């Protein structure tokens, strides 16, 4: 079903035009465009040389993307180059694993070596906890047939209240996925009608290398993708309903097509935020904290505000499609919610914001859990109606667009 058939589309489609166009197969996803950008590089190039080639190729990608957006180019009429921007991105990601700087921890650990783990608690192995048609996301993402959500294991933050702590804190949760396995899950979900491929976790950032390689597989093999392990893709499949398969809802002029949704804590480095621009069609960042003191105490994450706001500003200034999430926490409206909303109003005007009221104490903030720690007693309850109302009223006062995203169930 077309996303444009949803009642909410008449209000959001002009603010998220690229996402709607790719979701309805009117335009090709960015990863398909990147696969048509020729790049000359050698496997022997060092990482600095690879990045230099990326920055040059990025300009050609942006030119081609612009031509596609305005119907001046049809990528299906372009010959696939011997080596593309997507191939170069794979080489950069794989080389970066040897001294990892995907996220702002910049731990520079060689994750390709056995038993060496990054700040994300991961080596080079990607694990997927589950993938399925998610019907709990925002309406613009879940539509009628769901968001094709893939939950990656582990995280580069340490939120004491994490609602997915079984995934984010246990690096062995889930099953090992190769790029072929991940590509198969993406294709399967899209053939079953999901409106996007929603990369989440945990956190997708530590898995950039596998994600890029999976998109290469989709771009080259399309409907012919096969997993390396049928056991893995069956075990991780979280769907209990049967969804009929229809290639017609998954193809752009014969190419397997879907919008890539980056559902992230946005703690990437600036370089890899720029890197992701060539494959991400719709950004869904989580802006949790309005000050670093709370970020360190509640999530053990340094330099949080400057990192997340820098990345948000980059994406906004590029003119990308984006929806920002903010979770209202008890006793943190003044110190976190209000500063977050003030920053958004000033620096990313016009962006839709989901002000979320569904916080519940989990993990170390849950008084009923054996993990409970008294130092998190300030967030050991749900937010009150007054706290939520204060957040909504402040957003309205600041002129932020939030109501249709945050309160959609009340509108329809």
Q: What is the mean pLDDT of the chain?
A: 97
For tokens 């019907």, name the residue: 135
Give the percent of the chain with pLDDT over 90: 94
Give the tokens for residue 108.
């520079």
d(CA 304, CA 289): 8
Mean pLDDT of 242-247: 94
**Strand, helix or coil for residue 206:** helix
Q: Which CATH superfamily is domain 3-27+123-411 in?
A: Aldolase class I (3.20.20.70)
Whether the per-residue pLDDT at 122 is higher than 80: the answer is yes
Mean pLDDT of 349-358: 98
For tokens 């980056």, name the residue: 262
So where are the chain's domains?
3-27+123-411
> What would the pLDDT profile of 391-402 be if each residue is shown by its tens digit?
999 999 999 999
Q: What is the band of 33 on the pLDDT scale with cuts at 50, 70, 90?
A: very high
- pLDDT number for residue 170: 87
Give the tokens for residue 323.
């929806």
Mean pLDDT of 266-290: 99
- pLDDT number for residue 157: 97
- How much is the pTM? 0.97
What lies within 8 Å, CB to CB, of 145 at 6+ separation is 1, 133, 192, 193, 194, 195, 243
Q: Assign residue 219 a region: left if phi > 0, alpha if psi is -120 to 50, beta otherwise?
A: alpha
Give the tokens for residue 272.
């890899």
**Strand, helix or coil for residue 119:** coil
Mean pLDDT of 231-259: 96
- pLDDT number for residue 407: 92
Q: What is the band of 108 on the pLDDT scale with cuts at 50, 70, 90?
A: very high
> What would the pLDDT profile of 168-226 be if each residue is shown by its tens digit?
988 899 999 999 999 999 999 999 999 999 999 999 999 999 999 999 999 999 999 99
CB neighbour class for 324 (10 Å; exposed up to 12, middle 13-18, buried from 19): buried
d(CA 265, CA 364): 19
- pLDDT number for residue 412: 56
d(CA 87, CA 246): 29
Whether the per-residue pLDDT at 352 is higher than 80: the answer is yes
- pLDDT number for residue 411: 61
Phi, psi (deg, nearest 5) at residue 178: -85, 170
> What would the pLDDT profile of 40-65 be if each residue is shown by its tens digit?
999 899 999 999 999 999 999 999 99
């Amino acid at each position: 079903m077309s996303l444009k058939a949803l009642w909410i589309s008449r209000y959001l489609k002009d603010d998220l035009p690229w996402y709607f166009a790719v979701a309805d197969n009117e335009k090709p996803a960015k990863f398909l465009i990147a696969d048509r950008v020729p790049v000359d590089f050698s496997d022997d190039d060092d990482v600095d040389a690879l990045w230099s080639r990326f920055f040059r190729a990025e300009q050609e990608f942006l030119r081609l993307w612009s031509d596609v957006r305005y119907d001046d180019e049809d990528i299906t009429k372009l010959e696939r180059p011997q080596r593309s921007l997507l191939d170069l991105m794979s080489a950069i990601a794989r080389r970066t694993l040897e001294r990892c700087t995907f996220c702002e921890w910049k731990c520079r650990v060689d994750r390709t070596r056995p038993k060496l783990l990054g700040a994300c608690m991961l080596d080079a192995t990607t694990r997927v906890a589950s993938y399925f048609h998610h019907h709990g996301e925002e309406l613009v993402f879940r539509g009628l047939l769901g968001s094709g959500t893939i939950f990656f294991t582990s995280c580069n933050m340490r939120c004491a209240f994490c609602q997915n702590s079984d995934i984010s804190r246990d690096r062995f949760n889930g099953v090992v996925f190769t790029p072929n396995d991940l590509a198969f899950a993406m294709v399967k979900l899209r053939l079953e009608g999901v409106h996007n491929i929603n990369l989440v976790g945990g956190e997708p950032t530590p898995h950039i290398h596998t994600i890029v390689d999976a998109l290469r597989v989709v771009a080259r093999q399309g409907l012919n993708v096969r997993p390396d392990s049928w056991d893995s893709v069956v075990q991780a499949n979280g769907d209990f309903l049967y969804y009929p398969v229809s290639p017609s809802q998954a193809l752009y002029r014969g190419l397997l097509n879907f919008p890539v949704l980056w559902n992230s804590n946005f703690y990437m480095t600036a370089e890899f935020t720029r890197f992701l621009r060539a494959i991400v069609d719709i950004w869904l960042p989580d802006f949790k904290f309005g000050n670093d003191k709370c970020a360190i105490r509640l999530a053990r994450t340094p330099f949080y505000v400057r990192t997340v706001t820098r990345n948000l500003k980059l994406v906004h200034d590029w003119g990308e499609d984006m929806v920002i999430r903010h979770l209202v926490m008890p006793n943190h409206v003044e110190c976190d919610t209000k500063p977050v909303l003030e920053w958004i109003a000033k620096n990313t005007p016009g962006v839709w914001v989901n002000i979320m009221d569904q916080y519940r104490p989990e993990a170390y903030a849950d008084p009923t859990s054996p993990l409970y720690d008294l130092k998190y007693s300030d967030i050991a309850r749900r937010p009150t109606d007054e706290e939520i109302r204060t957040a909504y009223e402040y957003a309205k006062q600041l002129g932020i667009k939030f109501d249709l995203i945050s309160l959609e169930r009340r509108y329809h």
